[in-house]
Structures are given as C-alpha cells and as structure tokens.
Amino acid sequence: MPPGTFHFAGVTLLVTHYNRSGSLARLLDTFRGLGCSFEDTVISDDGSHAEHLQRVEELQKEYGFRLITGPVNKGLGHNLNKGQDAVKTPFTLYVQEDFVPLAAFPPRLTHALGLMRERPGLDITRFYAYFRYPYLKAESGGFSSMRFKLWYPGYRKFYMYSDHPHLRRCDFTKKFGRYAEGVKGDITEYRMMMSFLQKKGRGLFYDDFKSLFDQRNDAAEPSTMKRNYWRESGHFLVSGLRHFYRHVKFNLDYLLRSF
C-alpha cells in the first residue's frame, strides 16, 4: 500500500443499503479519500428500486465490492443476516449507508482492531452513538470498556449494542443469535441489544463518539427508518412517560424474556 494509506487486513466492510445509492456513493468515496481499504467489501441491498439498484451496480464496477441482493424488501434484520452470511474475514466493520467516516476514524479503527486482536473476549467496538454510554472504564487510545449491571441506575445502561457503526467478530451472530426478521428495524435492534446483554457480551466505546462518523440524511435521500410520535416527541409529559415505560420494560424483558 502507498504511504499514508490504511489497509485493514482481516476486515470486511459491510454496508446495508436501501434506496439511498447517492449516500452509498458518498460513503465509499469518503473511505477511498481517507486512504482506507479493506480485505473485502460487501454491500447488502434490501430490494431497492430499479434506479437505485442500477446505480449500485455502476458503483460495483468502480469499487469492486461484492453485491448481495434480494428481489423484495424484507427489512433490516434480513438485510443484516444475508450480508453477514457473506462475510468471510475474522472481523466485520458494519456501517449503514447514511454515515460518513471522518478523518480521525482510520487511526482509531487501527487501534480498535489491535485491541480486539489482543483481547479475544471483546465482541464489539462502537464508534458512534447518540449519547455517551453511562458506565465506562477508561482503556487506551480514547476507548473505554462498557460496564453493565442490572442494579446500575437508569435504563440507558441497556444500550451496550447499537446498529450504529461498529467493529465486531465474524462469529457475532453465532454467539448472540441472528437478527430478528419480519419486524421493524428498531425492534430488530432492540432484540439484539437484549441478546447481547443476556449472553454477557463485552465491548468498547469510543469516548469522543461524535468525532469519527457523521450521520447525514438530506431531502433527496431521507432516512428510511420511520418512527412514531411516541418515540420522537419532546413534550415533557410524553417524554416522561416514555422514560418510565422504557425503564420498566427493559428491566422486565431482560429478566423474563429470552432473546
């Protein structure tokens, strides 16, 4: 590799895609501009419309990735499963197509990869979040280990797993189960989050969690994840009820349900 580039041997870049080919092109172009290359790249498409799939096929000729398609949209869980099934390397860097890596990311991925190779007990390293994970122990390189105990205050302690950009081992779905299919994307993520906790998953969290990736959704290619008023409202009464509901539900699910 030429000086100044980052080649990640043993890592497959896995990108899930649905009807946002412009965002996918931006993601791939940004990785190339940062000097990043991977042992393999898999794009898992979830039955995109013809015009987007045609654009993805054009991108395939330019970037040389493996394209995994399906005839119809079957949801995030199915798209994740068929994409992960195609991965052949020890590690997967999972990124949804609406994220953009920033200049600080390549050296941090190098450090995270080193930590996971040194410590086989680590299952995941998270690079982005909407909020700081509440219970952390400082490690090295700006990373901290996430700590979970049921008696820790609050419900945000449950969010050890997230679909946001992360590095994981190839046996992730063997250890924690396959992603739930036939349900909405947020339910798929929730069930994996609970399985990760119940099966004693261990992971790292990057402390400056907004410095490695930027999430971009514009009018031309808005988010395909639809959320309802109950989940999004900032009204103090709705927000308070939502927090109380999550606190009760998360604890009961963790204790009484098997994921």
pLDDT digit string, tens, across residues 202-230: 999 999 999 999 999 876 656 655 544 44
pLDDT band at 242 (very low <50, low <70, confident <90, very high): low
Digit-coded pLDDT (tens) for 70-88: 889 999 999 999 999 999 9
Q: What is the pTM assigned to this prediction?
A: 0.91
SS3 121: coil
Q: Which domains does the chain have, with CATH numbers?
A: 7-226 (3.90.550.10), 227-259 (no CATH)
Task: Write down the pLDDT at residue 3.
Answer: 40
Digit-coded pLDDT (tens) for 132-162: 999 999 999 999 999 999 999 999 999 999 9
Nearby residues of 113 by Cβ (< 8 Å), 6 or more positions away: 8, 10, 11, 91, 167
